[in-house]
């Protein structure tokens, strides 16, 4: 598995955690589960930003992907950016 594929898979995982967190937070479910999901997403997002930054320094990713990752969109922005790059590479 290449670095690009590994970060792409991790970005999708982080997006899934984020979506579950949003559902639990809006749905008013158990606060302890929401707290654990929040911490998991927060730490995961920081790790995702670090992984994308390392990829940018190694010229695996363009710097605009890091901007999309650290934006308020977070894992949504990184996943959209990575999917765009993957589809562009296929052409």
Mean pLDDT across 59-81: 92
- Report pLDDT digits (tens) over 9-25: 999 999 999 999 999 99
- pLDDT, residue 30, reads 87
- Say what the pTM is: 0.89
Question: Mean pLDDT, the chain, as a whole number?
Answer: 93
Looking from the CA of 36 toward its CB, the CA atoms found within 13 Å total 4
CB atoms under 10 Å from CB of 35, counted, come to: 12
Average pLDDT for residues 24-40, to the nearest whole number?
93
């Amino acid at each position: 598995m290449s670095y690009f594929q590994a970060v792409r898979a991790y970005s999708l995982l982080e997006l899934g955690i984020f979506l579950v967190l949003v559902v639990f937070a809006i749905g008013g479910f158990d606060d302890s589960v929401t707290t654990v999901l929040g911490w998991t997403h927060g730490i995961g997002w920081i790790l995702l930003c670090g992984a994308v930054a390392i990829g940018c320094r190694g010229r695996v990713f363009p710097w605009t992907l890091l901007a999309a990752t650290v934006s308020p969109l977070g894992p949504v922005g990184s996943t959209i950016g990575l999917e765009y790059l993957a589809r562009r590479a296929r052409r």
